[in-house]
Structure 1
Amino acid sequence: GHWLAPYATTLADLALTATAAELNIMDGVTATNVELNIIDGVTATTAELNYVSGVSSAIQTQMDAKQALNANLTDLADGTLTATKVENGTYFISAAGTSGQVWTSDGTGAGAWATSAITTLPTLGVTATDAELNIMDGVTATAAEINYVDGVTSAVQTQLNAKQATVTGAASSIVTNNLDASRAVITAANGKVAVSDVTSAELGYVDGVTSAIQTQLNGKQAIDANLTDLLDGELLASRVENGEYFINSAGTSGKVWTSDGSGAGA
């Protein structure tokens, strides 16, 4: 046997390799012996344990929320998809091809690179020529505006040129409304064209008039019963009057009416 010191004086005496500074990290630890015994049997190295430094929540939960590793997704990580990743069933684009080429289908297999899949417009089912399509170059009209010509059967400008210019002024009142038939046209108080109450038949009554109608009317004799009696050239006895006295009978042939100087006579 041999003599031992009554207590350890250095960490080496305890066969510890941790430094005092490393052990001092535990200063203030409130873990129980049970909790500390959890590390009993841990085989992880110091470096491996240090990998959890900075972790702020359960590692497994974070790992479960991550996408599983996939070669295709890894291929997309740089933003470029390689030719071998373009797939149709078991068929892949098998080579990178050359600039300007397009991948064309053969209908049964993987297809192949071709110089150009579209060499003419009919390949797309387009019957218009390139010159006709180029008419659209620079067009700023919307689809709705272009659709306004739907149903047009001849040149729009030609049809527009054949239309009446916009009517303004007096005639604007008859742009959309028809005038009453057989009425004289007048200018209304608002200066617009309108119809009067005079019919075409009434207006026809002035046909042949050679001077002012009112002047001619003013020059005519007013209607009178006595004058009307003279129209046939004979004057009725009752129309011969002196004040209140009238010839009161027709008399007989050859007789004359004589005055008595005071009355109607006889």
Structure 2
Amino acid sequence: MRIGEVARLLDVTTRTVRHYHRSGVVPEPARRDNGYRDYGLRDVVLLMRAVRLAAVGLSLDEVAEAVRDDDMCDLPDMLQELEADLGRQERDVRAKRDALRNLRERLQSSIGDDSAAGAYLPDEARALFASLRTHGAEGQSLDVDRRAMSALPAESVHVWAETMSDVASDPAASARLAEIYRRFDDLGRGDAATRTDDPGLPRLAHDLLAVIPEPLRRQFLDAPVDEIPFLDAVTDDLSAAQAAVIRHLLTLRSPE
């Protein structure tokens, strides 16, 4: 076998194999007349042992000693382990292909229906946004929230989506939240966008807080302002009236 074939078999680089040879960890195999190394079964097994031992944290000196002290009596077991390793690599490749295929399908299904950012959301979050669209939430605010969610760590989005799942599964709750989105978007258009003294702004802030499930509401009320995700980025793009609603919302939080 050539060095490239051995490296692919062991899932390492040819540079790693050469490093083991130069460091004296594994003897360099004999070279053919053309100058290329010719790796036999024993060479492959020794390299496999070296890779395994290095992976669990042994120093190169310790790996070299372990490889020298070992013999070939456990060759069948080593070959079986190598076959198992290849099987795991194949499963990993299939899993990555499935993930890419799923992402591609999500992106394709999002064209003309959902923002591309929504394709990166978990199914629970997509279900909630779909439910809100069904109840008439189609404006800029919904799209901003969807994009913000797609930028958060997956674990945070799953927690958020799981907490909001009751809203997604309850038509009345979805309708109330969709109405909040509509009212908020209305404040971004026309004369309403500049009316920061509108008495309806504090009421909208209260209604928005009321429609959020208790765990998320409590998290918002108790969290320091600098820990509220995307607060500055979101408010920068709001109209004066919409920003006033956010300010009213912040006044409802616990004093710091």
Bin for the TM-score computed over the shorter chain:
under 0.3
Instruction: State which structure, 1 or 2, has the greater radius of gyration over its C-alpha atoms.
Output: 1
Length-normalised TM-score, structure 1: 0.18
Length-normalised TM-score, structure 2: 0.19
For CA contacts below 8 A with separation 6 or more, give which structure has more relative contact order.
2
More strand by share: 1
